[in-house]
Amino acid sequence: MLARACSHLLIAMVLAQAAHAQQYDGPGGTVPANGSLLWLPLDVTAPASSTLDTVAFGLEQVCLTVEHTWIGDLDIWLVAPDSTAVQLITAVGYNTDHFTGTCLRDSGTRVTFGVPPYTGVHRPHGHLGRVNNGQPAAGIWWLRVEDTDPLADSGAVVSWSILLGNAPAVFRLFTSSTLPIAVITTPLSHVPDTGKVTGHLRIIDSGPGAVNNVQDPATGYEGAVGIERRGHSSQDQPKRPYSVELRDGLGQDLDAPLLGMPAESDWVLDPVYLDKSGVRNALSYELARRMGHYAPRTRHVDLVLDGEHQGVYVLTEKIKRGAHRVDVAKLSPADTLIPGVSGGYIVKIDRQDRPPVPSWDSDHPPPHAGSDQQIRFLFEYPSTPHDAQVDHIEDFMDGFEDALSSASFTDPNVGYQRYIDTRSFIDYFLLTELGRNVDGYRRSTFLHKQADADGGKLVAGPLWDMDLAWGHADFCGATDVAGWAYEFGLTCPDDRRQVPFWWARLLQDVSFRDSVRCRWDALRNSVLATNSIGAVVDSISEHIAEAQTINFQRWPTLGHAIWPEPAPAPATWAGELQELKVWVEARSAWLDAHLPALVNGCDGPLAFDGTDSLHVWPIPFTDELHVTYFAEHDAQHLVRLTDALGREVYSAAWLGQYTGQATTTLHLATLPSAPYVLRLFVGDRSTAARVVRL
C-alpha cells in the first residue's frame, strides 16, 4: 500500500513538473540581405509571480529552424525582456545550408562541433542561464538575427521557440582574474561590423601578481568608447575581434595610456581564438621590437562584454601614425606639393576593407599566379588622401617596382636601394620566413614611407597578424618546416591574394643575400636563438596560464582542430605550447641550412647590427626634443645634454617599460639657444647626437 502511494505521488510530481514546462513559439521572418538586424518578437504570458532563476523555474531551451544558403554568415542571439542578450549561434557551418530543428540548451555537443544542419540538441555559444537572473518570465522576448556578409546569400527564419520549465539553465558568474579585466557595455548589447557604437569601458588592474575583481573600481581606465567588430576572416569565428576607440565626453577621440602602453585613442581586442596557444601575435611583435623595430605593444586581458565573460583577449595597439606608433610625418589635406606631399604614408597589401578605402593596383603582376591576380595597395594613412597625395605615393611605388624589375636593379644609385629601407626589408623577410606566415607578404602586410626630410624611404612593417604563423595553418604548405613563404604562388597559384615579385627579386642581389645571411647569423646568437624564443613563449604563457584555464571553459576548443589548425589538435594547452616550440626549433634549423651562403662576407654596405638606432628631431628644436631609440625592458635609461664646454645642462633617467623602439619627449624650454650634445645611455650601451636649440 505504501509503495503504491509513493508511486502515485512520484507520478503526480512528474506530471506537475511536465505541466509547469511551457513552450512558446515565435514568428519567422526574412533575414535582411543589407546588413541590418532582423528582430523577431515573442510575447510570453505567464503568471505574474513567475520569475526566472537557475534552481526552480527558468529558461531551459531555445529551438529554431532557419533556411539559409551560407549559415556561417549568421549571428543569432536571444534577447530577454530585461534586455539580457545571449549569443546562441555565431559563424558555424561555413558554406553549408540551414539549421533544421536545432535546439540549444546547456547540455550536449557544442554547436561549433556539431554537424550541419545541426538537428537535435546542442550547447549554444553563450550561457542561457544568464537570463535566469530573477527577471519576470512574462514580457517580450526577441530573436535577433544578422547576416554578417550581406548581399552574398539569403534566407529566412522559419520558426523558433523558447522552453521555460523546472530544469532551468544555470550560469557560473565570472568574478575575478589574475589578468587585468576589461569591462565593456553597449546600449543594445550589439557590436556592429562597421560604424562604431558608443559604449563604456572600465579596466581593472590592481598590479602584477594581484587578483582583479569585476566589481572593483576601475584602476586602469574608465570612460566612453566607440566599438565595432574588425577583421576579415577573423570575424568568421564565434569569439569576435573588436576595434576600440577611446572617446571624451563630446564623443571625440581621446588619447590615454592603457596598461602601461603609451597614450593613444585606437586599440584592438584580439580574441586569440584560432591561436589556442594565445601567444603567437604577442611573440611575433616582441621579437620585432627586440630586433629594433616598432611593433604593436600588447597586454593580455580578460574581456567582459555586456555582462558575459568572453575569455582571454590581447589588447593591442592599432597600427596608425603617431609618435608612439608608426612614426612618420603628419600629412594634412593642404600638403599637395613637395616637400609636404612626400610623406608620411602608411599603406598595406590586403584585400579591400569594408567599407572600401582608397586603393590602387600594382603594374607588376605577382609571380606564379594562376590567373590575372594583381597586387592591391590600400591606404591606411592618410585615410582620405588628397588626389595629389594619391598620385605621389602611386608614383613612388611605381618607381620602386620599376627600379627593382630593371636590369640595373642592384645599382645603389638607380636601383631599388634608392627607394627602400633595406634593413627593415631584411628583418621583415627573416621574421616572416621564420614563422612561415601564410598571410605574410600578401595580406595584412604594412609598409610606411618617410617624408623626404626623414630620408624618404619605404620601410617594411610594422609586423601584423601572425596568429596563423608558426606552423598553425593547414593550407598552402604553411605547416611544413621546409620551404619558403615568399613562394606562396607555387603552392597556391589560384588564391586571390598573391605575393609581390619583390622578395624573389631582392634575393637575386648578392649584396642583399649576404646581408640576410649576416643578419640571421647574428640574430641566431641573440634574439632568434631557439632558447631565447622559447623564453619569450614561457614568459607570456606563465603570465596567462591561470586565465587560460577559464578561457577554455568558456570556449572548449582544446582537442578540436578548428580550421585552419592542423589535425590532430593537442588535447591540452600545454600541448599547444609544446607543439609551437617544437615547430620553431625545426623551422630555425631548416633556415640555418637553407638561407643563402655568404659570397662577399659581412662587411658590405647593407650588413648591420640593428640595435643602436637613434633618431632625434626636430633639428633645430625650440621647446621640445623627441628622441627615438632602441629600448630595453628593465634597463636603466639615461639622457644627458651638455653644452659646448662639456657642462651638463639637462639629464633625465627612467626604467625601461618594454623592449623595442621607443620615443621620449624632452621638455627643454628653459635652455638657452645654443648647440648641445645629447648622449643616450641604455643599460651598457650609449650613443650620441648633436642638436641645436633656436
pLDDT of residue 355: 76
pLDDT of residue 153: 86
E strand or H helix at 68: strand 58-68
CA 82, CA 407: separation in Å to the nearest integer? 70
Q: What is the pLDDT of residues 360-370, one digit of tens each?
A: 999 999 998 88
| The three-state (H, E, C) secondary structure of 116-140, written as one string | CCCCEEEECCCCHHHHCCCCECCEE
| DSSP E strands, 189-333 | 197-204, 212-213, 221-229, 242-247, 256-258, 261-264, 266-270, 298-305, 308-317
Q: How many CB atoms lie within 10 A of CB 677?
A: 14
Question: 24, exposed or middle or buried, with CB in 10 Å at 0-12, 13-18, 19+?
Answer: middle
- Asked if 672 contacts 621 with a C-beta cutoff of 8 angstroms, the reply is no
- Asked if 342 contacts 457 with a C-beta cutoff of 8 angstroms, the reply is no
Residues 607-629, mean pLDDT to the nearest whole number: 70
Q: What is the pLDDT of residues 247-285, one digit of tens each?
A: 999 999 999 999 999 999 999 999 999 999 999 999 999
Q: What is the CA radius of gyration of the chain?
A: 28
pLDDT of residue 658: 58
CA 459, CA 463: separation in Å to the nearest integer? 11
DSSP assignment of 607-663 equals ----S--EEEESSSBSSEEEEEEEE-TT-EEEEEEE-TTS-EEEEEEEE--SSEEEE
Ramachandran region, residue 488 (left: φ > 0; alpha: ψ -120 to 50; beta: rest): alpha
pLDDT of residue 210: 92
Residues 498-516, mean pLDDT to the nearest whole number: 95
The DSSP code for 471 is: T
Better pLDDT: 326 or 149: 326
| The three-state (H, E, C) secondary structure of 136-176, written as one string | ECCEEEEEEEEECCCCCCCEEEEEEEEEEECCCCCCCCCCE
Q: What is the pLDDT of residues 193-205, one digit of tens each?
A: 889 999 999 999 9
Q: Whole-angstrom distance between the N-terminal and C-terminal Cα of the chain? A: 107
Maximum C-alpha span of the chain: 113
Residues contacting residue 100 through CB under 8 Å, at least 6 positions apart: 65, 117, 118, 119
Closest CA to 123 of 569, 554, 570: 554
pLDDT tier for residue 179 given thresholds of 50, 70 and 90 = very high
The DSSP code for 383 is: S
Q: What is the mean pLDDT of the chain?
A: 91
| DSSP E strands, 369-449 | 376-381, 445-449
Q: How many CB atoms lie within 10 A of CB 174?
A: 19
- Asked if 489 contacts 366 with a C-beta cutoff of 8 angstroms, the reply is yes
Q: What is the pLDDT of residues 483-492, one digit of tens each?
A: 999 999 999 9
CA 67, CA 157: separation in Å to the nearest integer? 6
E strand or H helix at 375: none
Question: 152, exposed or middle or buried, with CB in 10 Å at 0-12, 13-18, 19+?
Answer: exposed
Residues 155-183, mean pLDDT to the nearest whole number: 96
pLDDT of residue 310: 97
- Asked if 97 contacts 111 with a C-beta cutoff of 8 angstroms, the reply is no
pLDDT tier for residue 630 given thresholds of 50, 70 and 90 = low
E strand or H helix at 363: none
DSSP assignment of 563-615 equals TTSPSSPPSSHHHHHHHHHHHHHHHHHHHHHHSPPPSS-S-STT----S--EE
Hey, is 187 helix, strand or coil?
coil
The DSSP code for 528 is: T
Q: Report the share of the chain in percent with pLDDT over 90.
A: 80
CA 409, CA 403: separation in Å to the nearest integer? 6
- Asked if 533 contacts 287 with a C-beta cutoff of 8 angstroms, the reply is yes
Ramachandran region, residue 292 (left: φ > 0; alpha: ψ -120 to 50; beta: rest): left
Q: Report the share of the chain in percent with pLDDT over 70.
A: 94
E strand or H helix at 12: helix 2-20
pLDDT tier for residue 48 given thresholds of 50, 70 and 90 = low
Q: What is the pTM of this model?
A: 0.85
Residues 8-27, mean pLDDT to the nearest whole number: 59
Q: What is the pLDDT of residues 406-443, one digit of tens each?
A: 999 999 999 999 999 999 999 999 999 999 999 999 99
Residues contacting residue 295 through CB under 8 Å, at least 6 positions apart: 284, 285, 286, 288, 289, 461, 462, 463, 660
